Amino acid sequence: MTTQGRDLSRRRLLFGGAALGAGALLAGCTSNEQAPTAAQTKAAATGGNNEPGKKVTIGFSAPAADHGWIAAITNNAKAQAGAYPDVELKSVEAGADAAAQRAALSTLLSQKPDVIVLLPHDGKELNAFGLEAMKAGIPVVNLDRAFPDAKAYRLQIKGDNYGMGVAAATFIAEQLKAKGVSNPVIGEIAGIDSLELTQERSKGFADTLAQYGLKVANRRAAEFTADSGQQAATGLFQALPRIDAVWNHDDDQGIGVLAAVNQANRKEFLMVGGAGSKKAMEDIKADNTVLKATVTYSPSMASSAISLARLIGQGKGMSDLVELQVPKEIVLASETITKENASDYLKLGF
């Protein structure tokens, strides 16, 4: 998520240094204490694979829950594990960086859980652990931040990062076309540039804009925090005296972007967010800010990861598939949330 040596995992909501007058807006970030909604987890029903079976111990590790999306990942995983009487979840602290998470995971590995579900600080740096666990016969479910080596995981489940960029660019291009805007000025506020997921999002965005004959006029990287979003947006506004559209990769980061919008009184453009926070959906539904859409990257993937880890531990496949095993890769589609459908998606907001 950031340059090497920086904490790659913790998308901290840093409010220190926020400009005067932005405090109230920044304080409106998604809560890290909210329990998962019923739509983000799925209680174990009766029949088929949901019938209690072999007891499965699942080890779990994710970065500190001090960012709305990361908090939802951890909360969803715990809630989903609690829905199964035959699942025991052993959660270990991820620490401040990849090295600390690696040490905690080594302790977990010595306890020999049946399966490990892991959202790494950084997929490349934790790849060696994945290889070690798999070699020891403990299947690894890799969440969100991919391991580069396919042998380092039994299952990888993540959102469609490239698809997020495609969805955001498509919405922006179609909206500008409908408004008859010629030669539009488009800005981009990305996440942490060193992460592959950020690079994939930007590529999807650029590739799709190019299909419409458009391009990004100015791009700023932030750090998935409200404070960094505000700083990046302020720089973007200073660089571009006129803007027609902006894609901000992350809705928690977007709290700071909207603070900068108010501070600079720059409301001549439309904005698309990313991930699908409840706050973003509420703003989109109310239609009282520049935020007109967001493209999903749902933390419900953690709930699915626990359910699938349970099946892997029990030697089962997915009941709706013909295959006898859980697939190797699952990529969740990115959907576009607008004023028209925000009410339908609010229950999925984090």
Spatial separation of the C-alpha atoms in residues 59 and 39, rounded to whole Å: 24
The CATH code belonging to domain 161-296 is 3.40.50.2300
Burial (0-12, 13-18, 19+ Cβ within 10 Å), 33: exposed
Ranking 44-53, 104-113, 125-134 by mean pLDDT, the lowest is: 44-53
Query: Which comes out higher in pLDDT, residue 276 or 28?
Result: 276
Enter the pTM of the model.
0.84
Q: What is the DSSP letter of 334?
A: P
Residue type (1 letter), 224: F
Q: Is the pLDDT of residue 69 over 80?
A: yes
**91 beta partners:** 60
18: pLDDT confidence band, cut at 50, 70 and 90?
A: very low
How confident is the model over 86-126, as pLDDT tens digits? 999 999 989 889 999 999 999 999 999 999 999 999 999 99
What is the pLDDT of the chain when averaged over all its residues?
88
Spatial separation of the C-alpha atoms in residues 202 and 166, rounded to whole Å: 9
Mean pLDDT of 311-320: 95
Q: Are 283 and 289 in contact (CB under 8 A)?
A: yes
Domain chopping of the chain, boundaries: 29-158+299-332, 161-296
1: pLDDT confidence band, cut at 50, 70 and 90?
A: very low
33: pLDDT confidence band, cut at 50, 70 and 90?
A: very low
Going from the C-alpha of 2 to that of each of 35, 52, 190, 319, 348, the distances in angstroms are 29, 43, 11, 40, 28
How confident is the model over 177-186, as pLDDT tens digits? 999 999 999 9
SS3 at position 219: strand
Mean pLDDT of 60-67: 82
CATH among 3.40.640.10, 3.40.50.2300, 3.30.230.70, 3.30.565.10 for 29-158+299-332: 3.40.50.2300
Q: What is the DSSP letter of 137?
A: T
Mean pLDDT of 318-342: 95
Query: Which comes out higher in pLDDT, residue 64 or 187?
Result: 187
Spatial separation of the C-alpha atoms in residues 231 and 229, rounded to whole Å: 5
How confident is the model over 232-272, as pLDDT tens digits? 999 999 999 999 999 999 999 999 999 999 999 999 999 99
